[in-house]
């Protein structure tokens, strides 16, 4: 059997070039191979069948997939909890991030996008990723804090922006750098403390108010477990931090990649505009969310350049996966990067072809940009709605062009992969 590369090598190879690292290991060792990084030991799995096997395993066999990240997101975050506590949290939170609650934020999402698009000057080149980050940050601020008052949104924007800028990928992959001697970590912790203070003040104000508000913070303050108890301030704080860090950059990157692929594929762009043209001017948001080709464009955007490369399942007890016995204390890593770009599942995986999502329905273990099983991303519906509304509004109401003919390369940002240059574009003017 081939010996595995060193932990240091695997850490930096996977951090910097995950697609090449996975492809190389898979080519040499098959669909299940040993992973040993500075933070993790276990096996990686690369096929939908193996992913399905992992997600179907008894949830009680798994620990929190972010035991190493409690120092970042907090001990009460969904990333950090496991077992009965995690089940209770998911039962409480799931309804508040699906259905009518999420659809109720649609107008806010579109209004924020329109504001940022209208602010672009035709003589200026901007990175679409930066525009997407500004939109995503404002969407989070408005949906988390905007419906109940009591928060200075400008101050919150400054604090959150500083915290996100200070978030280093090294802190995710190695605990060694989580020290105030490491400047990015020091900046992150300082701004995170300021965020905690802001949120704590807002929670106290909402608890004292006759009504907690109609935004996400209000929903969390009003929520009650089966025994009638409310979430603690610390629990709400950790959930909001998780929403911010996990949801802000991923959505921004999705918006940037969507623009990248549509402007490089004029056929797909024309087909999308043809579908949406009949809905304008000013269609109800639900009509955008239900537009089939727009949905297919967004799904293909999430597939072709996976933003999150894997999901990790640490084991509390031994599990057999793909013919391998994985002991307690190690982890099973479902390599989303490999599955979403597998030519067996998605023929011509490097070709942007939204039609594939209209021609067939993919199993949950095949199309899994938000992970799967009992820990599938809580904010998936929120993110999908935002991507559809932002892209649909942009391509219908604005003309823009890429300023480079070179395709973007995906590079590591922190836990995410994003476009290396951020997708530089020029806004040419309004279409309607």
> What's residue 65's pLDDT?
66
> What's residue 412's pLDDT?
86
Q: Long-range contacts made by residues 162-167, C-beta under 8 angstroms, separation at least 24?
A: 162/187, 162/191, 162/194, 163/188, 163/191, 163/192, 163/194, 163/195, 163/244, 164/133, 164/137, 164/244, 164/245, 164/248, 164/249, 166/190, 166/191, 167/245, 167/414
* Beta-strand pair 331-334/41-45: parallel
DSSP string, 236-295: HHHHHHHHHHHHHHHHHHHHHHHHHHHHH-HHHHHHHHHHHHTT-SS--HHHHHT-HHHH
- Class level of CATH domain 89-297+375-430: mainly alpha
> What's residue 3's pLDDT?
56
**Domain locations in the chain as residue ranges:** 89-297+375-430
> What's residue 345's pLDDT?
97
pLDDT block averages, 10 residues each, the chain of length 432: 72 87 92 89 96 95 73 84 92 91 93 96 94 94 83 84 74 73 84 90 93 93 95 94 83 97 97 92 90 98 95 95 94 96 96 98 97 92 96 96 93 87 96 76
> What's residue 1's pLDDT?
44
β partners of residue 321 = 324
- Residue closest to 390 by CA, chosen among 398, 379, 380, 401: 398
């Amino acid at each position: 059997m081939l010996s595995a590369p060193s932990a240091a090598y695997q850490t930096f190879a996977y951090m910097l070039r995950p697609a090449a690292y996975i492809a190389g290991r898979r080519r040499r060792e098959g669909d299940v191979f040993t992973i040993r990084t500075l933070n993790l030991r276990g096996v990686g799995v690369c096929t939908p069948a193996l992913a399905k096997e992992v997600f179907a395993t008894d949830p009680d066999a798994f620990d929190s997939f972010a035991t190493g990240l409690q120092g970042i997101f907090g001990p009460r975050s969904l990333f950090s909890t496991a077992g009965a506590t995690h089940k209770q949290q998911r039962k409480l939170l799931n309804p508040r991030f699906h259905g009518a609650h999420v659809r109720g934020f649609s107008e806010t999402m579109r209004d924020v996008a329109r504001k940022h698009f209208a602010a672009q000057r035709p003589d200026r080149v901007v990175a679409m990723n930066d525009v997407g980050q500004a939109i995503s940050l404002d969407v989070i601020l408005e949906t988390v804090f905007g419906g109940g008052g009591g928060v200075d949104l400008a101050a919150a924007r400054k604090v959150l922006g500083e915290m996100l800028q200070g978030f280093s990928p090294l802190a995710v992959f190695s605990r060694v750098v989580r020290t105030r001697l490491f400047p990015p970590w020091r900046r992150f912790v300082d701004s995170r403390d300021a965020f905690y203070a802001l949120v704590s003040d807002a929670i106290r104000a909402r608890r004292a108010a006759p009504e907690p508000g109609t935004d996400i913070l209000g929903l969390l303050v009003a929520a009650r477990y089966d025994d009638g108890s409310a979430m603690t301030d610390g629990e709400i704080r950790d959930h909001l931090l998780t929403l911010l860090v996990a949801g802000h950059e991923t959505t921004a990157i999705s918006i940037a990649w969507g623009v990248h692929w549509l402007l490089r594929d004029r056929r797909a762009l024309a087909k999308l505009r043809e579908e949406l043209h009949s809905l304008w001017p000013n269609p109800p948001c639900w009509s955008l969310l239900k537009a089939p080709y727009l949905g297919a464009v967004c799904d293909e955007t999430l597939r072709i350049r996976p933003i999150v490369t894997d999901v990790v399942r640490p084991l509390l007890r031994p599990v057999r996966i793909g013919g391998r016995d994985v002991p307690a204390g190690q982890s099973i890593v479902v390599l989303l990067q490999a599955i979403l770009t597998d030519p067996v599942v998605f023929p011509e995986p490097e070709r942007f072809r939204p039609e594939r999502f209209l021609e067939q329905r993919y199993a949950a273990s095949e199309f899994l940009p938000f992970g799967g099983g009992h820990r599938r991303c809580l904010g998936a519906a929120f993110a999908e709605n935002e991507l559809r509304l932002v892209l649909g509004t942009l391509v219908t109401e604005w003309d823009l062009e890429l300023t480079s003919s070179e395709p973007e390369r995906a590079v590591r940002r922190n836990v995410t992969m994003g476009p290396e240059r951020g997708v530089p574009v020029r806004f040419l003017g309004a279409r309607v």
